[in-house]
Every structure is written in C-alpha cells, then in structure tokens.
Amino acid sequence: MTPTLSRRPETAHALERRRRAIHGWLLLTPALAMLATFAFYPSVATVWTSLFSRGTRRNPSEFVGLENYARLFDDPTFREVAVNNILYAAVTIPISIVLALVMALWANSKIPARSFLRTAYFTPTVLPMIAAANLWLFFYTPGFGVLDQIGALFGAPSVNWLGQPETALWAVCAVTIWKEAGFFMIFYLAALQTIPEDLREAAEIEGASRWTYTRRVVLPLLAPTTLFVLVNAMINSVKLIDHLFILTKGGPSDSSKLILYYIWESAFAFFDAPSAAAMTVLVLIVLGAVAALQFRLLDRRTHYR
Amino acid sequence: MPVSEAPFVALHGVTRRWNGAGGVQGVSLAVPRGAFVSILGPSGCGKSTLLRLLAGLETPQEGRIEIAGRDVTARSPAERGLSMVFQSYALFPHLNVRENILFGMKVRRATRPEREQALARATAMTGLQGLERRKPAELSGGQRQRVALARAVVSGQPLCLMDEPLSNLDAKLRHTVRRDIKALQRRLGLTVIYVTHDQAEAMSLSDHVVLMREGRTEQTGAPETLYHRPATPFVARFIGDPPMALVEGAALGEAGQIGIRIEALERVPEGRADLTARVADAEYLGAETRLLLDHPQAEGLALILPGRVALAPGETVGLHLPEKHRVRFGAQAEAAAARDRGAAAAATRDGREAALPSPSTREDTR
C-alpha cells in the first residue's frame, strides 16, 4: 500500500478524534464554568489572601508569606476552638451514626406503626437548624425549660446548660446529634431495604442468630453507606454551626466556639480577612486529608454492589 | 409395614392462608427417605408457600409437620435439619465463594480441618475448584447456582428444599444443571423436595410429583401416573407437552369428558373414524409433521405423523381413539372443568401468570 493511500483514513481518524474531544469539552463546560466561578476561584483567592497582611488605610496589605499561619498557632483562642471542634466531631460523629443505625434497624423491622416511627425520626431533619436551635433553647432554658422541669420532678437542681463553660459544648453536641441521626437513618434505611429478605432466611436456615446475621451480613453490606455517612458527618462537624448563633454564640468564654464560627467572626466581626483565610486553608487541608484517608482505608474493606 | 417405611417428611392437613386467600389449604403429604419429590403447579398455587412451611420460614395456622419422625411444626428453621436452595440463590454478595459455602459451618463453629475438608469435597462435587476466591458478582449464573448447591452439600443435612433453582438459568444450562442436581441427590442419598412450575423439569427429575392448584393438592403420584392417568382435566391440561387432548364425551357417545394423549391418536379413513377433525395448521418438524386439529367439541387435538405430510389447513382427517388410551373424567370432573376452563387455559405450562382468583399470595407479592 502506498503512503498516499493510507493517509486518508488517518486524517479521517484524526478529525473524528478532534470532533469527539470538542464534543466532550462542550459537555463539560457548564459544570466547569460553575465550579470555576464558585469553587476553584474562591479557593485560590483564599490561599492568596492568607499570604498577605491585613490592610489598613495607613498600612496597605503586603506579602507576608506564612506569617498569618504562624500567628494562628500562637493564638490561644484558635487552639481552644480547634480542640473544641475535635471534641465536637469525636462526640457527634460516632454517636449520631450508631444512633442512626440502631434507629434504622428498628424502623426496618416488622413492627406496628412503622411509617409513623420513620416519620418521627426524620422530623428533625426537615426542621431548619435555626428553628431546631430555638426549640432546644427552650429545652435548655434554666428554670422553666423542659430539661429543668423534668429535673425538678426528681428534685435535681436547676442547671444553666448553655450558660456554663463545662456544659455548653455538650449541649451543642446534643442538638447536632438530635438533628443528624434522623438524616443518616434515612440512608441506612434505604440501604437496608436493598438487602433481600432471602439472605436473612438463608442465614436463618444455616442456624445463624439474629445478631450473627446482623454482624456478618447486614453490617458489611451497609459499609458503603457507613462510609458515605461518615464523610458527611465529618464535613458537617465543621460546616454545621447555625445553631451556635442561636444557642451560645460560641460562649461562654469561647467554650463552645467551633472553627467555622471563629472564621466567620474573624472575617465579618473583626474584619481580619487574612487570618480567616489562613484558618480556612488549614480546615480545607485537614478535611481533605481525613477524607482521603477514610476512602483509602475503608474502600479496601468495603463491598460495593 | 416395616418401621423404615415410615415417611421421612410428613404433612398433616397443613393450612396457611393470608386473609383467607392464597397460600395452602389442608395439604397432606408423605415423602419417603431418599425420594425426589417435585411440587408442581401454576404460579400462585401455593407451592412456594408449602416449601416455606416445610423450611419453617412460615408457620402453619393448622396442621402438623413432621421431619424424620419429629414434630417440627413449632421448631425454628435451623432446628429442622434441612438445607435450602433459593430461587435467587441467596448468596451473600460481600463474601467470596469459599466464605459463602462455609457460612453455615462457621456459624455452627465447626473446626478448621472439618471446614477445609467439607469445602474441598463440596467444590469438587459441584465443579467449583479454582473459584473459591471469587465474589458472587464475578460468577456466571450457572456458577452461582453451583455455589448454592455446594452450600446445601456442606450443610450435611439429609433434607434439601429447592425453590425453582433453575428458573434463572438459560435453557441449555438448565438441562446440564438438572442432571447435576439429580446426580448429587443420588450420590448423597438426599431427600429432595423441589418446587417448580415447569412440568418437564418435574417429570424428568422426580420419583413423585405433587401437582397443586389453588392451595390444594390436585394429584400426587409417579410422573407416569400423572401423565397417563390424570385424575382431573386440570392435570390432563397441565402435564405433558403438548398436553392431553380433551374431547366431550357426547362426541363419542359417552358421558363426561375423555382425555387422550395425542401420540395415542391414530389416523384412520373417515368412514371408520371415531372423530373427524379439521386441520388448523401443519408444522413440519423434520422427522415428523405435527397437525393441529380443530373440532367443535374437543380441545388440544393434534396428530403426529412420520415424515412430511402434505395436508392443507381446512382438510379433514379421521381419528381413532384407542379404548385403552382413553382417560375418562366423570360428570363431577366435568363440572369442575367447566368452572375452571378459563383459569386452566391461562395457567400455561411455561408458568405464565395464572388467572387465579387470589392475587394476594406471597409469590405474587414478591
């Protein structure tokens, strides 16, 4: 075959490939434009801002490198807030997931008023966080709040749950767990309903107890859902701070302050954008690293159908 | 009767219904040890319910179930000493073949050497060697089927219940697996109770066939009994491919209804014929020609003639129904037949939905 003859199909092939590439890029463009405007550009801008000093009228902002970060690590408030957030995550994530799983297993079993139970569990999720926080504000109010009234029945002294540093963070945690467990339950419930009844029957015939079946079949089959819920819970432990605005505003004396609230405060109450930017970058790095670790560790042990 | 002749599995008047409909009603059954028994019937006839009652996955509202001489009516599935092969195979999707097969042994805390030995034996028997590390999703339909069988083998139980185990396989595979199941049953001396809607499967596999209809047993017997001596027109229509031809007795100067296998029909000159039918269609099948025939007082008439026969639709043929091949259904059966003609016609033998009056059985809701 001569080269001139073989060139034509080649060019046709190249044309086809280019056409496909253009097609692909066209399909990607809308999402890419949105992401670039609202995600990539702000991220880069944040990193950029975090490298400059705070500009005032007299001292215009100048490049300071990692000085903002260094200052953060010396800031006792930042350290306290970080510890608060770690505690907050360590308490709310496992408890809400375990609670969600138990509720889902219960709401999935053959019990009367099953749909009422599911609706009841899901209600906190439907409520906006601000509304939920107002509700809990009433529960926690010293004197005539529900908790104190119940406590009074048993002769317990009145407790100002939100007003003292020892209890404020835990009170905030309780609201988060109450709010999130129902949401996570829905995912577990959906996953449980994809497990065919046959598997339970097969296990039963083999002599497996209910607990063995749950441990050896149900929980492994729920692993993808757990991974999904875990990542969501982790992100929420940083993201979900609406209730702080209603309940404690981070107080008393920063005892219930979480990172995102502190970032918001720095940026919009103290107008220290560079410091807020530096904190944001740190949070992004930590969240990214933890998410990557989770996927890597759990993916290997997770069965996807 | 010697003691060893006592039935291995016995049902006494077992009833399980849902809101007074569907399920099974007053079924009694005796299965000898080592037998292969098929429970056959159109969908919605209660055959799966019957199997689930035996397995202990359902509890009877009335009646008694005995396995190996023990009353197990109130016992849990695990206490009944049986294994089960599900229609869906019910393999654990997150466990590999090895773990799936050994699931039960692990639950029962068998020792490691015991497990290894059982696994080696079961995989050898079912031809699964080399696939131990695969997950069910990485297996073909036939291989999954084998894992389900291997699980039953490893359980070491003397009774194996099978719920339409071949219905998810293609036609070719169905034949080979059918033979494998039969070989396995013989080799292990298992008592098998096998649910199917496919009459060919039931006929070819079993020693006994239990034909069910609307929750009751219609006829129980050896395959050849059901084939040659059906008790009711329903059995006649359900068993055999093609099914029995049914002729109104009046056309032959008899009472009731006459059934006859089409291979027993003889072509004779019209002058000497018992019946003269019109050719509706002729199918040439190579070795033979199958003539589909029309007669106003008969259904399912057909004639098999050797070689190629040139008969155009509309021509008439004379038929002789030999006396010894006639099956007579009494007037009572005829009344029943009139009642269910529509229903039975819909209950085609390939298991398409039967137009039964009780749509709320478990099979239908699944």
Query: Residue A8 falls within a domain, yes or no?
Result: no
SS3 B36: strand
Whether A101 has a pLDDT exceeding 90, the answer reads yes
Q: Phi/psi of residue B109, each to 5°?
A: 60, 45
Query: Residue A127 falls within a domain, yes or no?
Result: yes
Question: Which residues in chain B are closer than 8 Å to A226, comparing Cβ atoms?
Answer: none
Side-chain-side CA neighbours of residue B192 (13 Å): 30
What is the structure's pLDDT at A160?
A: 81
- Mean pLDDT across chain A, nearest whole number? 86
**What is the strand order of the sheet B316-320 is part of?**
B266-268, B316-320, B275-284, B288-294, B302-306
pLDDT digits (tens, 9 = 90+) for B156-211: 899 999 999 888 888 888 888 888 899 989 998 999 999 999 998 999 899 999 99
B147 contacts B91 by C-beta, under 8 angstroms = yes
User: Token pair for residue A31?
Assistant: 């999402």
Task: Give the gap in angstroms from C-alpha B94 to the nearest C-alpha of chain A.
Answer: 6
Q: Which CATH number fits domain B3-228: 3.40.50.300, 1.10.468.10, 3.40.50.150, 3.30.70.600?
A: 3.40.50.300
Distances in whole angstroms, Cα of residue B63 to Cα of each of A151, B2, B54, B163: 56, 25, 12, 22
Could you tell me which residue, A63 or A302, shows the higher pLDDT? A63
Query: Residue A130 falls within a domain, yes or no?
Result: yes
Query: Residue A67 falls within a domain, yes or no?
Result: no
pLDDT digits (tens, 9 = 90+) for A160-205: 888 888 888 898 899 999 988 989 999 999 999 899 989 999 999 9
**What contacts B49, CB < 8 A, 6 or more positions away?**
B16, B22, B23, B24, B58, B215, B361, B362, B363
Q: Per-residue confidence at A122, pLDDT binned at 50, 70, 90?
A: confident
Question: Which residues in chain A are closer than 8 Å to B94, comparing Cβ atoms?
Answer: 217, 220-221, 223, 303
61-80 in chain A: CB under 8 A from chain B = none
SS3 B129: coil
Span A36-53, mean pLDDT? 90
The DSSP element (H or E) to which B38 belongs, if any, is strand B36-40
- Return the minimum-mean-pLDDT range out of A84-98, A286-300, B298-312: A286-300
Name which of A205, A212, A221, A302 to mutate to probe chain B: the one with the most chain B Cβ atoms within 10 A of its Cβ: A205
Q: Per-residue confidence at A303, pLDDT binned at 50, 70, 90?
A: low
Tell me whether residues A212 and B76 touch, CB distance under 8 A: no
What is the structure's pLDDT at B335?
A: 54
A133 contacts A242 by C-beta, under 8 angstroms = yes
Q: Identify which of A203, A207, A221 has the shortest CB distance to residue B93.
A: A221
- Print the domain residue range for A143: 76-299
Nearest to A192 by CA among A243, A236, A229: A229
**Cβ pairs A/B, distance under 8 A:** 60
Tell me whether residues B94 and A204 touch, CB distance under 8 A: no
Query: Residue A52 falls within a domain, yes or no?
Result: no
Task: Give the gap in angstroms from C-alpha A115 to the nearest C-alpha of chain B.
Answer: 20
| Closest CA in chain A for residue B58 | A201
What is the structure's pLDDT at A304?
A: 62
Relative orientation angle of helices B141-155 and B97-107, to the nearest 10 degrees: 20
Tell me whether residues B107 and A203 touch, CB distance under 8 A: yes
What is the structure's pLDDT at B339?
A: 52
Name the percent of chain A lying above pLDDT 70: 94
Torsion-angle region of B81 (φ positive above 0: left; ψ -120 to 50: alpha; else: beta): left
Name the percent of chain A lying above pLDDT 90: 28
A242 contacts A129 by C-beta, under 8 angstroms = yes
B137 touches A at CB < 8 Å: yes
| Closest CA in chain A for residue B137 | A305
B83 touches A at CB < 8 Å: yes
Cα-based angle B257, B260, B262 (whole degrees, multiple of 5): 140
A132 contacts A179 by C-beta, under 8 angstroms = yes
CATH number, residue A85:
1.10.3720.10
Q: A228-233: list long-range contacts, CB under 8 Å, 24+ apart.
A: A228/A187, A229/A97, A229/A100, A229/A184, A229/A187, A229/A188, A230/A93, A230/A97, A230/A294, A230/A298, A231/A291, A231/A294, A231/A295, A232/A184, A233/A92, A233/A93, A233/A96, A233/A97, A233/A180, A233/A184
What is the structure's pLDDT at B3?
A: 45
pLDDT digits (tens, 9 = 90+) for B7-30: 899 999 999 988 877 889 989 999
Question: Which residues in chain A are closer than 8 Å to B86, comparing Cβ atoms?
Answer: 198, 201-202
**What contacts B296, CB < 8 A, 6 or more positions away?**
none
Q: Rounded CA gap, B166 and B173, in Å?
A: 9
pLDDT digits (tens, 9 = 90+) for A239-265: 888 888 888 887 788 888 888 999 998
B77 touches A at CB < 8 Å: yes
Name which of A206, A212, A227, A302 to mutate to probe chain B: the one with the most chain B Cβ atoms within 10 A of its Cβ: A206
Domain parsing of chain B, residue ranges = 3-228, 244-332
Query: Residue A120 falls within a domain, yes or no?
Result: yes
What is the dotted CATH code of the domain comprising B244-332? 2.40.50.140
What is the structure's pLDDT at A213?
A: 92
B246 contacts B341 by C-beta, under 8 angstroms = no
Instruction: Choose from A111-115, A148-152, B54-58 the range with maximum mean pLDDT.
Output: B54-58
B159 touches A at CB < 8 Å: no
213-252 in chain A: CB under 8 A from chain B = 216-217, 220-221, 223
Query: Residue A23 falls within a domain, yes or no?
Result: no
Number of domains in chain A: 1
Write a three-state SS string for A243-258.
HHHHHCCCCCCCCCCC
What is the structure's pLDDT at B160?
A: 93
Q: What is the pLDDT along chain B (366 residues), one digit of tens a residue?
A: 444 567 899 999 999 988 877 889 989 999 999 999 999 999 888 888 999 999 999 999 999 999 998 899 989 998 898 999 999 899 999 999 999 999 988 888 888 998 999 999 888 888 888 888 999 989 988 899 899 999 998 988 999 999 998 888 888 888 888 888 999 899 989 999 999 999 989 998 999 999 999 889 999 999 999 999 999 999 998 998 888 989 888 888 788 888 999 888 888 888 888 888 899 988 888 888 888 998 888 888 888 888 888 888 888 888 888 888 888 887 655 555 555 544 444 443 333 333 333 333 333 333
Q: Residues A245, A247, A251, A255: what is their CA dihedral angle, to the nearest 10 degrees?
A: -110
What is the structure's pLDDT at A202?
A: 92
B57 touches A at CB < 8 Å: yes
| Closest CA in chain A for residue B154 | A206
Q: Rounded CA gap, B294 and A26, in Å?
A: 65
Q: What is the DSSP string of chain A?
A: --HHHHHHHHHHHHHHHHHHHHHHHHHHHHHHHHHIIIIIHHHHHHHHHTTBPPP-SSS---B-TTHHHHHHHH-HHHHHHHHHHHHHHHHHHHHHHHHHHHHHHHHHSS-TTHHHHHHHHHHHHHS-HHHHHHHHHHHH-TTTSHHHHHHHHTTPPP--TTTSHHHHHHHHHHHHHHHHHHHHHHHHHHHHHTS-HHHHHHHHHTT--HHHHIIIIIHHHHHHHHHHHHHHHHHHHHH--HHHHHHTTT-STTTT--HHHHHHIIIIIS--HHHHHHHHHHHHHHHHHHHHHHHHHHHTT----
SS3 B193: strand
A68 contacts A275 by C-beta, under 8 angstroms = yes
Torsion-angle region of A150 (φ positive above 0: left; ψ -120 to 50: alpha; else: beta): alpha
Name which of B52, B79, B91, B107 to mutate to probe chain A: the one with the most chain A Cβ atoms within 10 A of its Cβ: B107
